[in-house]
Structure 1
Amino acid sequence: MAGNSDPLTPRAKLAVTAGKAVAAASRAAGRGSGSVIGGRVALKLDPDLLARLAQNLDCVLVSATNGKTTTTRLIAEALRAAGPVVSNALGANMPAGITSALAGGSDAKFGVIEVDEKYLAGVARDTDPKCIALLNLSRDQLDRAAETRMLAENWREGLAGSKAVVVANADDPLVVWAASSSPNVIWVAAGQMWKDDAWSCPSCGGVMQRPGDDWFCGECGFRRPTPSWALSGDHVLDPHGSAWPIHLQLPGRANKANAASSAAVAAVFGVPPQVALERMYQVQAVAGRYDVVQFEGRDLRLLLAKNPAGWLETFSLIDPPPTPVILSVNARSADGTDTSWLWDVDYTRLTGHPICVVGDRKLDLAVRLEVANQHFQVCENLDQAVQLCPPGRIEVIANYTAFQDLRRRVGN
C-alpha cells in the first residue's frame, strides 16, 4: 500500500533511468512520446519492474473495447480528491506503456491504468489492483483480436479468485460472464447501445432474450444481475437510491455511462459520488477526442471511432443535418488491416448530412456509403474536404491512425 519505503532495487532503478533516457531520445528524434520504447527497454533490464512500481500504489485497472481512455481520465480526476495519481493518460495501454507511466509517478498514491483487453489478466497479476473496471466488449481489429467470447473467457479465467473489487457493466452479457468468476463484483447499469456481439449466450451458446433493458438466456438461465449503481438520464443512482447529477464537458450518452462507472470506482476508494462527479467536469478533451479546432475558417470537432460500436455511439452525438461530416478511415497495423467491419456500421444514420470521405481506405468506405444510399464526395485530403464545406461546424470522425493524422494536420 502507499507510504511504504522505496520498493525499487538498484537494478529496477537502473531500468527506470535507462527507460527514461531512451524515451527522451525518442521524443527528441520526433518519434512520439517515447513511452512504449522506454517501457520496453526498462522491462528488458528488469522483467519484474511493473510489479515493483505498482506495489506502493492502490491501483485501478480499466479495460473495454470502447471508452477506456476517457474512463481512465474521469477516474483519475475523481481520485485526485483523495491523493496524487499516476496514470497512462495518453493511452499507451500495453505493459511497456503502463510501466513507463508508473515510472514517472514516484509520489503517487493511486495508479489509474488503462489496459488493452488482451493484456488485462497479465497486468492484473503484476499490479495486484484494488479495483478493476470492465465497461464493454465488442468486435474490433478483426484480423488480429480474439473473437469477443474468447476475450471474455480470457478475462473470466484471469479474474477468477482475484482480490480486486470488479466494477462491471450489468448491461453487457459478455462483461457479466467475464466478471462473474470474481468473488467481489459491483454491478453498474451503464447501458449497451451496440448489441450485435451479444445475441448468443456466452455461457452455453443459447439465444439471448432481450425484453426491454433486461436480458437472459432462455436455455441455461444466465441473466442480467441486479445493478447497485445505474445511469438514469443525466443522473447516477448510487446504491442508497440517491441521484447525483452528471455535468460533463464531454458529449454523448456513452460518456455519461463512463461517468457512472467512474463514480462507482471512486466510491471503492472512498471518494463520494458528489465529489467524484464534480471533479469529472474538469475533463474537456481526451488525447484530442472531442476537441473543436479552427482550421481553414471552419470549426472542426474531432471524434474518434474505431469499431462498429464506437461509430454507433459517435453518430448519436453529432449535430443534426445539414452539418457536414468528414469521415476518415485507415487500415494500418494499429487500426487492424481488415476493413470488413465497415459493413457492420449503420451509415444510414448519416442521411441528410453532406459527407466527405478521406483516408487511406477512402474507396472501401465509399463503396459502403454507396450501398447505404448516402450522398458523399471522395476527397484527396482533409484540406480539400474542408474547402468543400461551408463555414461553421464540421463533424470529423476518424479511426485510430486516421485520427492521429488529422491531429497533426490541424496542429492539435
Structure 2
Amino acid sequence: MAGNSDPLTPRAKIAVTAGKAVAAASRAAGRGSGSVIGGRVALKLDPDLLARLAQNLDVILVSATNGKTTTTRLIAEALRAAGPVVSNALGANMPAGITSALAGGSDSKYGVIEVDEKYLAGVARDTAPKCIALLNLSRDQLDRAAETRMLAENWREGLAGSKAVIVANADDPLVVWAASSSPNVVWVAAGQMWKDDAWSCPSCGGVMQRPGDDWFCGECGFRRPQPSWALSGDHVLDPHGSAWPIHLQLPGRANKANAASSAAVAAVFGVPPQVALERMYQVQAVAGRYDVVQFQGRDLRLLLAKNPAGWLETFSLIDPAPAPVILSVNARGADGTDTSWLWDVDYTRLTGHPIFVIGDRKLDLAVRLEVANQHFQVCDSVDQAVQQCPPGRIEVIANYTAFQDLRRRVGN
C-alpha cells in the first residue's frame, strides 16, 4: 500500500531529475511528450528505478493487442474513487515510458499501467502488481511481434505463480491458456469478435470447437472457463448476478467489453461496479481516439485501427453507408513495416461507403480494396481527401503513425 516512506535512493532521485529534464528539453524541441527518452535516460542512470518507483504503489498492469490504452483510462477513472492514481495515459507502454509515468506520481496510491504485450512478463517482475488485466491476443506488427501463441507462452511462463489477481477474458483461448498458470484468476466474459488467431488449441494444437459463444478443444479438453463477470448487452453482470448499466461516451461493443473488464479490476480494490461504471462516463476520448474535430468546415471522427482485430471492431462503429470514409495506412517503425495484415481485414464491410485512401502505404491499401471490389479514390493528403468527400460526417480510420500524422494536421 502507499505509504510516506521515501523509496528513492539518492541515485534514483538523480535519475528521476535527469529524466524529467531530458523529457522537458524534448518537449521544448517539439519532439513529442519526451516520456520515452526521459525514461531511457533515467533507467540508464538507475536500472532498478522502475522497481523502486513501483514499490509504494498498488500496481495494476493492462496488456492486450487491442484496447489496452482505453481500458487503462477506464480503470484509472474507476480507481480514482478510492485514491490518487498515476498512469501512462498517453500510451507509452514499454519500460522507459512506464518509468517516466511513475516518476510523476509520487503521492499516488495506485499505478495503472498499460504494458506492451512483449514486455508484460518483465514489467510484472519489476513492479510486483496487485492485479493484471489481460484482454486479448491477436496478430499485430508481423515483422516484429512474435506469433500470437509464442506471446501467450511468454505470458504463461512470466505469470506462473504470480501473486497478482489476474482479470482475464474467458472468451479468448490464448488469454485463457496464458492466465491458467496463475493461481488467482477472475474470468470475464468480454467477448471476442476476431477469432482468426484462435482456431487451434494453444495447449495441444488440436482444432478448437466453437459452438455459439462457447469454445473447447475436442482433443485435450482445454475449454472456456466459467466467467464470474460478463458483458451482457448494455450491462455488466457481477459475480452476484446483479446487472449494472454501462453508460459510456466512447462508442461500440469493444468499449463496453473494456468497461466490463475495468469494473472487475476496480472490484479487486473494493470499488463497487456502480461507482466504477459511473466514473467511466467521464472518459470522452482517449489520446484523440473517437474525437470529432472540425477541419475545412467538415466534421471528422478520428478512429484508430492498427491490426485486423482493431479494423473489424472499428467497422462496427462507423456511420451507415453512404457516410464517407477516409482510410490512412503507414508502415513506419511503430506500425510494423509489414503490411500483409491488410489481407486479413474484411473490407467488404465498407461496401456502399465512398472511400478515400491516403498515407505512406496508400497503394498497398488500394490493391487490397480493388481485390475486395470496393470503389475508392487515392488521394495525396487528408486535405485533398476531405475536399473530395460527399456531404456528411467523415469517418477517418488510421493505423498508429498515420493517426498521429492526422492529429497534427487537423489540429487535434
Offset from partner CA, 1:48-106 (integer Å, 9 cap, x none): 00000000000100000000000000000000000000000000000000000000001
Q: What are the Cα deviations for residues 196-219 of structure 1, in whole angstroms up to 9, with x where unaligned?
A: 000000000000000000000000
Q: Aligned equivalents of 2:102 and 2:116: distance in 1?
A: 16
Query: Following the alignment from structure 1 to structure 2, what is the Cα–Cα distance between the partners of residues 333 and 104?
Result: 27
Q: Distance in 2 between matches of 1:214 and 1:47?
A: 45
> CA–CA distance in 1 between the matches of 2:106 and 2:391?
48
Quick one: distance in 2 between partners of 1:368 and 1:307? 15
Instruction: Show CA shifts across 1:364-412 (max 9, x none).
Output: 0000000000010000110000001134300000000000000000010
Retained in 1: the 8 A contact 2:324–2:392? Answer: no
Aligned to 1:392, the other structure's residue is in SS state coil
CA distance in 2, matches of 1:192, 1:12: 42
| Preserved CA contact (<8 Å) 2:303 2:395 | yes
Q: Are the counterparts in 1 of residues 148 and 197 from structure 2 also a CA contact under 8 Å?
A: yes
Q: 1:24: which partner in 2?
A: 24
Q: Would the aligned equivalents of 2:77 and 2:280 in 1 still touch at CA under 8 Å? A: yes
Contact 2:81/2:271 (<8 A) preserved: yes
**Post-superposition CA distance 1:3-59 (Å, at most 9, x none):** 140100000000000000000000001100000000000000000000000000001
Whether the 8 Å CA contact 1:131–1:265 is kept in 2: the answer is: yes
Separation (CA, whole Å) in 2 of partners of 1:304 and 1:342: 15
Task: Give CA deviations for 1:125-160 in whole Å, capped at 9, x if unaligned.
Answer: 010000000000000000010000000000000000
Q: Which runs of 4+ in 1 moved over 4 A?
A: none
Matching of residue 339 in structure 1 with residue 339 in structure 2: yes
Normalised by the length of structure 2, the TM-score is 1.00
Quote the Cα distance in structure 1 between the aligned partners of 2:319 and 2:345: 19
Q: For residues 207-248 of structure 1, what are the alpha-carbon distances to aligned partners after superposition, in whole Å with 9 as ceiling and x for unaligned?
A: 000000000000000000000000000000000000000000
**2:306 maps to which residue?**
306
**1:307/1:341 contact within 8 Å kept:** yes
Contact 1:141 1:338 in 2 (8 A): yes
Structure 2 distance, partners of 1:163, 1:293, is 44
- State the SS of the aligned residue for 2:21: helix
Q: Distance in 2 between matches of 1:22 and 1:70?
A: 28
Tell me what 2:286 maps to: 286
| CA distance in 2 between partners of 1:76 and 1:365 (Å) | 36
SS in 2 for 1:86: strand
Aligned equivalents of 2:28 and 2:263: distance in 1? 38
SS across alignment from 2:111:
strand
Q: Does 1:204 align with 2:207?
A: no
Once residues 13 and 137 of structure 1 are traced to their aligned partners in structure 2, the CA distance between those partners, rounded to angstroms, is 37
Q: Distance in 2 between matches of 1:42 and 1:332?
A: 26
For the residue of structure 1 that corresponds to 2:196, the secondary structure is coil
Please tell me the root mean square deviation across aligned C-alpha atoms, in Å: 0.4
The whole-number CA distance in structure 2 between the counterparts of 1:368 and 1:297 is 31
In 2, the alpha carbon distance for the partners of 1:381 and 1:44 equals 40
| Count of paired positions | 412
**Is 1:192 matched with 2:192?**
yes
Q: Mind listing any 5+ residue stretches in structure 2 that lack a counterpart?
A: none
- The answer as to whether partners of 1:207 and 1:217 remain within 8 angstroms in 2 is yes
Any idea what the Cα deviations from partners look like across 1:166-224, whole Å, max 9, x if unmatched? 00000000000000000000000000000000000000000000000000000000000
SS in 1 for 2:198: coil
SS for the counterpart of 1:249 is coil
Contact 1:329/1:359, CA 8 A, preserved across alignment: yes
- Contact 2:93/2:115 (<8 A) preserved: yes
* SS of residue matched to 2:393: strand
| 8 Å CA contact retained: 1:166, 1:182 | yes
C-alpha contact (below 8 Å) 1:297/1:391 kept by paired residues: no
Post-superposition shift, 1:288? 0.2
Tell me if structure 2 keeps the 8 A contact 1:88–1:114: yes
Q: Which moved more, 1:384-393 or 1:249-258?
A: 384-393
Contact 1:72-1:113 at 8 Å conserved across structures: yes
> SS of the residue aligned with 1:219?
coil
Asked if the contact 2:300/2:394 (under 8 Å) is kept, the reply is yes
Residue deviations 1:329-385, cap 9 Å, x none? 000011000000000000000000000000000000000000000010000110000
Rounded Cα–Cα distance in structure 1 between residues aligned with 2:49 and 2:261: 29
Contact 1:102 1:111 in 2 (8 A): yes
Within a 5 Å distance, the mapping from 1:37-116 to structure 2 comes to 37-116=37-116
Deviation at 1:297, TM superposition (A): 1.0
CA distances 1:244-267 after superposition (whole Å, capped 9, x unpaired): 000000000000000000000000
Partner of 2:348, secondary structure, is helix
Contact 1:65 1:140 (C-alpha < 8 Å) held by counterparts:
yes
User: Structure 1 length as normaliser, TM-score?
Assistant: 1.00
CA distance in 1, matches of 2:134, 2:211: 23
Q: Structure 2 CA distance, aligned partners of 1:318 and 1:177?
A: 33
The residue number in structure 2 matching 1:240 is 240
Identity over the aligned pairs, expressed in percent? Answer: 95
